[in-house]
């Protein structure tokens, strides 16, 4: 073992001691509701495929058709010869969905945040290190983007508009460019940022508001357009409610053009492959017409939240299709996840550093493919899990 490897091993050992070591579980999925592992089937409550689109025949059909017609790879980055004529109509659809003049499709949502923020926050272009006000619970990919740009984030308390206001006021006399970064729906909490109030502050303080709409697009907002309407720049992904893969940014033509020229994730990465683009294209056609599915998912989540709080579980401030059950210690979350697994229910535990220390949880996510009986089964299993513990505590 090399010296560096023994350090890596020590890091793994420390993680294991703290109940934080992770491993990859091999799973088989044949539909949006059931997942298979080690010869057993489970109801999957840990997928971001909120509309069940990844198995939709329209997406599969167009992916196959575009693979057969255009090949399975783009062959080059978009600035070389990978900018297939498939991109422009898709980008027009994304811009229309997000009500912005333009959009740019790139690789994953992670890469979009990491690469786009790096480019947008570039101090050499902006003339000074920008002031970046960021929600404390923003997704890791946003931090990567800020780190890559070398900016220090001014982090405000989660969804706390007064704290954001105070921070903005503190820097009132500072004429550096300002940005506010937030998610719309927070991925691990399922709560919604107070976007109207944040947008008001952004206008008052002449800050550019960048919203990651990953967990709202497709599933929330009018016609599934998400919640980012007041943002100057929207970042998102096709890998959640849209069922496929890929990321995008929606903004003005100037921002798009700037990113084509300055964003490493666009310039130095092969364009998305045609079958992936086919699935995106078909999802964008379907999403505006999926109100019934959106209502079904909202009802399932509401039923679950009501049932979970009735048995004394802490579902935080969730109001969306993502419902956490906050348990505290990583071991508690792991153990609860393991016991649900024995009952045929797949609910992955989420531990630090993905969530703050002391807030390890189960993250329950609902999809249009779930049935009411699935929710009741999960609640039954949780109440048998949870009830004895409450009795013991008394």
Ligand X SMILES: Cc1ncc(COP(=O)(O)O)c(C=O)c1O
Catalytic residue positions, numbered: 48, 139, 183, 187, 212, 215, 240
By beta-carbon proximity to ligand X, the closer residue of 139 and 386 is 139
Residue carrying the six token digits 């357009």:
225
Q: How many helices (H) and strands (E) does the chain have?
A: 14, 14
Q: Which DSSP category does 263 fall into?
A: -
C-alpha to C-alpha distance for 176 and 96, rounded to whole angstroms: 32
By beta-carbon proximity to ligand X, the closer residue of 215 and 386 is 215
Minimum CB separation of residue 172 from ligand X in Å reads 30
- Under 8 Å between Cβ of 267 and 70: no
Chain positions 209 to 268 lying near ligand X, rule: CB under 6 A, are 212, 214-215, 237, 239, 247
By beta-carbon proximity to ligand X, the closer residue of 78 and 240 is 240
Residues contacting ligand X: total by CB under 6 A: 14
Nearest one of 352, 336, 370 to 188, comparing CA atoms? 352
What's the start-to-end Cα distance of the chain, in Å? Answer: 51
By beta-carbon proximity to ligand X, the closer residue of 178 and 215 is 215
Among 139, 305, 361, 370, binds ligand X (CB under 6 A): 139
Task: Please give the C-alpha separations between residue 106 and each of 48, 214, 235, 351, in angstroms, as whole numbers.
Answer: 19, 14, 11, 29
- Ranked by CB distance to ligand X, the top (closest) residue is 109
By beta-carbon proximity to ligand X, the closer residue of 134 and 381 is 134
Among 45, 59, 109, 209, binds ligand X (CB under 6 A): 109
- Burial class, 36, CB count within 10 angstroms (exposed 0-12 / middle 13-18 / buried 19+): middle
C-alpha to C-alpha distance for 322 and 45, rounded to whole angstroms: 10
Minimum CB separation of residue 183 from ligand X in Å reads 5
Question: Would you put residue 345 in left (φ > 0), alpha (ψ -120 to 50) or beta?
Answer: beta
CA 357 to chain centre: 20
C-alpha to C-alpha distance for 353 and 91, rounded to whole angstroms: 34
C-alpha to C-alpha distance for 189 and 237, rounded to whole angstroms: 18
In degrees, rounded to 5, the angle at the alpha carbon of residue 114 between the alpha carbons of residues 191 and 271 is 115
Minimum CB separation of residue 228 from ligand X in Å reads 12
Minimum CB separation of residue 367 from ligand X in Å reads 16
Among 47, 141, 225, 315, binds ligand X (CB under 6 A): 141
Piece of the chain touching ligand X by CB under 6 A; list 4-12, 71-79, 106-114, 332-340: 106-114
Minimum CB separation of residue 87 from ligand X in Å reads 17
By beta-carbon proximity to ligand X, the closer residue of 49 and 386 is 49
46 binds ligand X (CB under 6 A): no
Among 46, 103, 187, 318, binds ligand X (CB under 6 A): 187
183 binds ligand X (CB under 6 A): yes
Piece of the chain touching ligand X by CB under 6 A; list 107-115, 274-282, 287-295, 322-330: 107-115
Piece of the chain touching ligand X by CB under 6 A; list 90-98, 199-207, 208-216, 274-282: 208-216
By beta-carbon proximity to ligand X, the closer residue of 217 and 337 is 217
Among 46, 47, 108, 153, binds ligand X (CB under 6 A): 108
What is the CB-side half-sphere exposure of residue 204 using CA atoms within 13 A? Answer: 13
Minimum CB separation of residue 236 from ligand X in Å reads 8
Minimum CB separation of residue 245 from ligand X in Å reads 7
Strands (DSSP E) contained in 45-112 are 102-106
Is the C-alpha dihedral spanning 33, 294, 140, 114 positive or negative? positive
Nearest one of 152, 137, 321, 145 to 233, comparing CA atoms? 145
Which positions touch ligand X (CB under 6 A)? Answer: 108-110, 113, 139, 141, 183, 187, 212, 214-215, 237, 239, 247
């Amino acid at each position: 073992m090399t010296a560096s490897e023994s350090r890596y091993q020590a890091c793994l050992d420390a993680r294991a001691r703290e109940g934080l070591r992770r491993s990859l579980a091999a799973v088989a999925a044949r539909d949006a509701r059931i997942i298979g592992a080690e010869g057993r089937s489970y109801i999957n409550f840990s997928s971001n495929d909120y509309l069940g689109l990844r198995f939709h025949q329209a997406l599969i059909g167009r992916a196959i058709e575009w693979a057969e017609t255009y090949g399975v790879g783009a062959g080059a980055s978009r600035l070389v010869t990978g900018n297939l004529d498939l991109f422009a109509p898709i980008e027009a659809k994304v811009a229309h969905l997000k009500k912005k003049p333009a959009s740019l499709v790139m690789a994953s949502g992670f890469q979009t945040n990491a690469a786009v923020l790096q480019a947008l926050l570039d101090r050499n272009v902006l003339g000074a290190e920008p002031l970046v006000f960021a929600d404390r619970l923003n997704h890791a990919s946003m931090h990567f983007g800020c780190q890559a740009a070398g900016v220090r984030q001014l982090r405000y308390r989660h969804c706390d508009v007064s704290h954001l206001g105070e921070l903005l006021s503190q820097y009132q006399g500072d004429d550096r460019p300002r940005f506010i970064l937030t998610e719309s729906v927070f991925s691990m909490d399922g709560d919604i940022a107070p976007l109207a109030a944040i947008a008001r502050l952004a206008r008052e303080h002449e800050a550019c508001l960048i919203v990651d709409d990953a967990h709202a697009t497709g599933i929330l907002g009018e016609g599934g357009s998400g919640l980012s309407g007041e943002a100057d720049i929207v970042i998102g992904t096709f890998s959640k409610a849209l069922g496929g893969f890929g990321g995008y940014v929606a903004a003005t033509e100037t921002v798009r053009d700037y990113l084509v020229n300055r964003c490493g994730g666009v310039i130095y990465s092969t364009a998305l492959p045609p079958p992936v683009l086919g699935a995106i294209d078909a999802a964008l056609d379907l999403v505006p017409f999926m109100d019934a599915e959106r209502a079904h998912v909202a009802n399932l989540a509401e039923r679950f939240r009501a049932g979970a709080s009735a048995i004394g579980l802490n579902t935080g401030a969730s109001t969306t299709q993502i419902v956490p059950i906050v348990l505290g210690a990583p071991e508690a979350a792991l153990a609860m996840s393991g016991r649900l697994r024995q009952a045929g229910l797949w609910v992955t535990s989420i531990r630090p550093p993905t969530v703050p220390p002391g807030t390890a949880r189960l993250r329950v996510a609902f999809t249009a493919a779930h049935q009411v009986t699935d929710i009741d089964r999960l609640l039954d299993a949780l109440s048998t899990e949870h009830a004895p513990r409450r009795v013991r505590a008394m």
